[in-house]
Structure 1
Amino acid sequence: TTSGATGYFIEYGGSAIRSLTMEGRLTLCNLSIEMGARGGMIAPDETTFAYLKGRENAPVGEEWDKAVAYWKTLKSGDDAVFDKEILFDAADIEPMVTYGTNPGMGMGVTQTIPTVEGMNEVAKTSFMKSMGYMGFEPGESLLGKKIDYVFLGSCTNGRIEDFRAFASIVKGRKKADHVIAWLVPGSWMVDAQIREEGLDKIFEEAGFQLRQPGCSACLAMNDDKIPAGKYAVSTSNRNFEGRQGPGARTILAGPLVAAAAAVTGEITDPRTLIG
């Protein structure tokens, strides 16, 4: 939930976490705030060191070796005791979408919106208000739901690997005619990488335009606002009422879900377009 970790600091561990790229780890730690945590961390390892080596301001030579030796100590001991441990099997997690008006209202893309059964009156009132704003019904599936906008960007999901993932779905396909798509790199460095790798050509051939780096539709900056009542599949991190424009309806998702929606014009399980 949006308050499940309030007041705490989260350490992420396990084989699925260790297999993440540095960009994926940054996204995950970034999202810790969305469950109320004060912060999130992942123990540094070879992935971390490879990401840092050679970067501006990174130590070099003997100083680099000293730094790595120190960084290797920055992890919880095997005997560490945590206030709470929560275990997830990554194999059980499918592509996700949100159906409501806060990041905690999420579900697997093939699942259905919860019903009010078992909710207390306060929770029920809040839930139904959210359903009214989004134009959804309890128990409804979002698969096949027509969408109007797609936003790939933000500090959460505007990194190079997010654009690679998006490109992997749209390559050889075309953007749905009725969909307006905003592809916004998270930084000028990411913009340069996109062009170096030729991803911009893939986007152009599929009918997409790469925009200048910035916050853009994440929080309705400048003219990048979703009109009232329109549905936007967004790779940003917040879907509050009006976050992307007055009356805008935001469905948070990852880059693969966003790409699938962009080419089909509706909420689609990206796994059906892979391979």
Structure 2
Amino acid sequence: GGVETYRKSLGYMSFNEGDSMIGKEIDFVFLGSCTNGRIEDFRGFCSIVEGRQKASNVTAWLVPGSHKVVAQIKEEGLDKIITNAGFVLREPGCSACLAMNDDKVPSGKLSVSTSNRNFEGRQGPGSRTLLASPLVAAASAVQGVVTDPRTLLV
């Protein structure tokens, strides 16, 4: 049971017991869909990325929860902050939350995701997912490693 499952999960994630998540190099950041795709999530994300640039090693998918959220993002000028920081705003939909369309995290790659599930293969076969808040996702996206957003707040 429990110990075996625990060891299997560490192996799947390529983590060791006692590892700090801070500083782990990441490959993908996923903000949004129905969970954490609200306007306040995009405001939070933008509060961190404004004036910064997306890390070159990170592929980011920013997916608003609805067309209403897209309209608010544009109305508040958040789309410009997103674009200036090197990100692309996606169309509302499920996207990488559950590996639909081509939005799949490749096997072995590490994703920081604001979705609400991270079971094996959720974001693509063999993908590894760390669930995080929009602030952690934003900080990690600009640093290229798992980052505590408090270190970037001034």
State the TM-score, normalized to the length of structure 2: 0.99
Question: What are the superposed Cα offsets for residues 157-216 of structure 1, whole Å, 9 maximum, x if unpaired?
Answer: 000000000000000000001100000000000000000000000011000000100010
Q: 1 or 2 for the larger relative contact order (CA 8 Å, sep ≥6)?
A: 2
Where do 1:83-94 residues align within 5 Å? none
- In structure 2, how many angstroms separate the alpha carbons of the residues matched to 1:152 and 1:251? 12
- In structure 1, how many angstroms separate the alpha carbons of the residues matched to 2:3 and 2:9? 10
Unaligned runs of 5+ in 1: 1-121
Give 2:100's aligned residue.
221
Q: Secondary structure of 1:156's partner? A: coil
Give 1:182's aligned residue.
61
Where do 1:1-275 residues align within 5 Å? 122-275=1-154
Q: What amino acid maps onto 2:86 in structure 1?
A: G
Shift of residue 155 of structure 1?
1.0
Q: Secondary structure of 2:70's partner? A: helix
Shift of residue 123 of structure 1?
1.0
Shift of residue 154 of structure 1?
1.9
Q: Secondary structure of 2:22's partner? A: coil
- In structure 1, how many angstroms separate the alpha carbons of the residues matched to 2:114 and 2:19? 22
- In structure 2, how many angstroms separate the alpha carbons of the residues matched to 1:269 and 1:135? 21
Unaligned runs of 5+ in 2: none
Alignment RMSD (CA, Å): 0.5
- In structure 1, how many angstroms separate the alpha carbons of the residues matched to 2:142 and 2:134? 12
Q: What amino acid maps onto 1:137 in structure 2?
A: N
- In structure 2, how many angstroms separate the alpha carbons of the residues matched to 1:140 and 1:210? 33
- In structure 2, how many angstroms separate the alpha carbons of the residues matched to 1:262 and 1:234? 11
Give 1:45's aligned residue.
none
- In structure 1, how many angstroms separate the alpha carbons of the residues matched to 2:64 and 2:21? 27
Q: What amino acid maps onto 1:125 in structure 2?
A: E
Q: Secondary structure of 2:140's partner? A: helix
State the TM-score, normalized to the length of structure 1: 0.56
Runs of 4+ displaced beyond 3 Å:
none
Question: What are the superposed Cα offsets for residues 94-113 of structure 1, whole Å, 9 maximum, x if unpaired?
Answer: xxxxxxxxxxxxxxxxxxxx
- In structure 1, how many angstroms separate the alpha carbons of the residues matched to 2:147 and 2:82? 19
Identity %: 71
Q: What amino acid maps onto 1:141 in structure 2?
A: S
- In structure 2, how many angstroms separate the alpha carbons of the residues matched to 1:142 and 1:218? 21
- In structure 1, how many angstroms separate the alpha carbons of the residues matched to 2:24 and 2:41? 23
